[in-house]
Structure 1
Amino acid sequence: MRFPPGARVRARPLDPDHHIRLPRYVRGQVGEVIEAEGEWPLPDDRARGITPPRVETVYAVRFPAGDLWGEGTHTVTVDLWESYLEEAGR
């Protein structure tokens, strides 16, 4: 586990030419890790026929809705594989 609960992370601004499970609306956005949810095969690898697929930690990451859509006081939680994330700093 690379990111502990409470860590500020940025969803990488990825735009590959293949399947990816990183929603566009969080790409480049900063959120907070709520918890690690275990290790799971990376669906990107499975979709591309990579055998065996890489296994990575999946994190529940909370984003302020206002940061994602310009309005809203609620938060949005997304499950993201570790390779989709980078440290955001303060």
Structure 2
Amino acid sequence: MPAEFRAGERVRVRAGDPAGHTRAPRYVRGQVGRIVECQGSWELADEVAAGVAAPRVEPVYTVAFAAGDLWGEGGHEVTVDLWESYIERAERAERAGEDGS
């Protein structure tokens, strides 16, 4: 499966609360971050934990989030590795609002 996202793109982590195992931490769900890089493609951990015989293989991305956006303070970034199905492109209107245009 080819990677859908490229370094520098802004993405939003899907906000759902799936039943069972997920590797998407609660503190980033619904948050907007920036793709740092693609780490290659790996079996979807959620399906591996559920015992799926042939788990999906998806690109995994390192995504950076401003600590201030996550916790209201901090001048650093937090990076999290996320499977492609956990993220979606950030809305254009949201990006326009962030850059002042």
* TM-score normalised according to structure 2 size: 0.87
Structure 1 residue 14: Cα displacement: 1.7
Q: From the two aligned structures, give the one with the greater strand fraction.
A: 1
Larger Rg: 2
Choose the corresponding residue for 2:27, options 25, 28, 46.
Answer: 25
Alpha-carbon distance in structure 2 between the residues aligned to 1:85 and 1:51: 24
**Which blocks of at least 5 consecutive residues in structure 2 are unaligned?**
96-101
Root mean square deviation, CA, Å? 0.6
The DSSP-based 3-state class of the residue aligned with 1:66 is helix
Partner amino acid for 1:79? Answer: D
Structure 1 residue 17: Cα displacement: 1.3
Percent identity between the aligned chains? 61
**Which blocks of at least 5 consecutive residues in structure 1 are unaligned?**
none
Q: From the two aligned structures, give the one with the greater helix fraction.
A: 2
Partner amino acid for 2:44? Answer: L
* TM-score normalised according to structure 1 size: 0.97
Count of residue pairs brought into register by the alignment: 90
* Cross-structure match for 2:60: 58
Give the 4+ runs in structure 1 shifted more than 2 A: none
